[in-house]
Structure 1
Amino acid sequence: MKILLANDDGIMAPGIHTLAKHLIDKHEIIIIAPETQRSAQSHAITLHKPIVIKEVKLDGIDAPAYSISGTPADCVRVGMELLTDGDVDIVLSGINMGLNSGMDILYSGTVSAAIEANLYGVPSIAVSAEWCKGDVNYEIAAKYAVKLIDKLEIEKIDTPMVLNLNTPFDLHDPEVPIKVCRTGGPIYDYYMTESNGNGEKTLKVIGRKDTVLEEDTDRLFLSKGFATLTPLSYDFTNFKLMDKVRKCIEENDKCE
């Protein structure tokens, strides 16, 4: 299987190296990642300046690797448009340093790179591992990702597929199957404001405040030590409101 690996932590990040080493013996891989850390870029793409592409040699990984000056979504675009001629079976994005659960997926460059693959008709998996006291267990995330690829029959998938895989630092039980579940709610940031003394103020994130963990969500299962998997959709259409809005606009009914 031909696999394109991307991420948002950068070409030298240990997560993408770990994933590559777990895949390289059984699959043909190509690595395309930002030249520097580009976390929380969401689905930004580079429009107003050229994207610089550099071939990189990664220690212990005998596979073509490239750094680019763009965003995580750009990595997939560069791969599909230039470096692979679109000949890719699946895109894996990660392994991210930190979870991408709940509504954090909206800001995630890791998830957006996976979604970008679907715009090219290629199935994808975003892979993220919990950051815990300055450490990340990339090995667990890589093993779960490999298991997923082995179980999925990629050639039989006839619809766009984005899977969001998250693994906790300490697994509840390695033999327990992945919890397939919905995403949880938002995780709010703590902000601090400072005065610069010249009429300006600055605002910066200084921490995170967890909200209530909802039942049957990725955030709840991860807190209990389970790996989670969520199929994602990037169609933002609110189908529940479609008919109501149509009646208001097209039929001049009152919106209630």
Structure 2
Amino acid sequence: CGIFGALLADEDGVYNASDPNDRLILGLKGIMSEMELLTMRNRLHRGMLNKAQRGELFLHVPVGYVNTPTGAVALDPDEQVRTVVHLIFEKFNELGSGHAVHRYFRRHGIRMGVRPIDGPNKGQLEWRPPSHPLIFTILKHPLYAGAYAFGRCPVVPKRKRTHKVPHQWVPAEEWKVLLHNRAPAYITWDQYLANQLRLKENRTKSDSKGSIRKWAALLGGVVFCGQCGHKLCVYYQQSGRPRYE
């Protein structure tokens, strides 16, 4: 603007960007506007955090729950929706892994009742085939144990520069808010903790046992190297006999 002699105007007056005094005024106004915007953002964040600390902040509820007109959370009024959610936890206790639960649902053609949070069918019940993320979301969400949690996946400033998704899941010890008995529960809190431990052990990492697989090896995930301490992987020969390496 200063190079081409353009004028800037607002409700207070007209400014010439090439004039030092006008540029000083414009700079001060910009700084004040930025501080005002930052103050408003901080106030909104504190208000959201205060509401979360009361257990009242629900952006959307997971499958099997609905928001009531008073803002509370209740079980889905459809009995079949609730039955399917109960079945997920029952089959997880029986089969031992989220992937096995997903395969069971797909094999038997069981659909899940989902209420979209946006779009033309917002809030209306739709029956869809379950996906892997949906199964694991249900198994990991503390609301199914009646607990309200906030801050499970916060924004990490360092990830903004190096990752496309700046959010990162954190353990329960780092959640900002955790309130028990805030919603009707499908399982107990002890069952929820046991499920999280089982999901952690199912990971294919050196510090976890891994999920049970339908092969001949009986010691998969429980045998570790006596020298380096790493978990031994199971390999099968052409004869079908397992080999640990």
- Asked if TM exceeds 0.5, the reply is no
Q: What TM-score, normalized by structure 1, do the two folds share?
A: 0.26
- Of Structure 1 and Structure 2, the greater strand share is in 1
Q: What TM-score, normalized by structure 2, do the two folds share?
A: 0.27
Higher relative contact order (CA 8 A, sep 6+): 1
